[in-house]
Structure 1
């Protein structure tokens, strides 16, 4: 129903760069993307990660909402700055990509003592 591609930059091991979050059309709007992020940060490979970064275009409301919700659950600040400019980097052919940085945060969401279950109900 969904997947995430992400990596820990070698020069910033406390950070997770999220390249893409994909959710099937059938599963959208049910919080699966956020639950996958929570589950990813519950894995041993992400031990020690205290910040998340990504890039998002300003018209991607679903991604922006997911990352804002993630920041709220982690009680972490969210900063947004231009990263790849529409004119400078894309010759006007693509909207500016904004970098989102969330952190520092705790490994588990606030008030949750266990990783989120990546279950979904399709009704």
Structure 2
């Protein structure tokens, strides 16, 4: 069961971060607006995009090399915690922080499953 859960969470999380990270790297208009909203430059947002794409790769490679999956999940938990803080400091309502919080919890569940496997 845990192997299936790990695989499902890996595919889900890597898909989310590959998509969002790529959009940040490409600096699509919605991502440029999001960066400006929280007071970040496009260059900094692109850097976050690169981190997200690298994390997606780490998650997928973690299916074979557990330590990479653990590192990627840990990084994503920290990244999403930071995202929640940045949104709150920008004056966003709690509902605007919810996607980052949910994805952070999913990354945390992935981490727990990997460490327990």
* TM-score > 0.5, shorter chain as reference: no
Q: TM-score range by the shorter chain?
A: under 0.3
Larger helix share, 1 or 2: 2
TM-score (norm 1): 0.25
Structure with bigger strand share is 1
TM value normalised by structure 2: 0.26
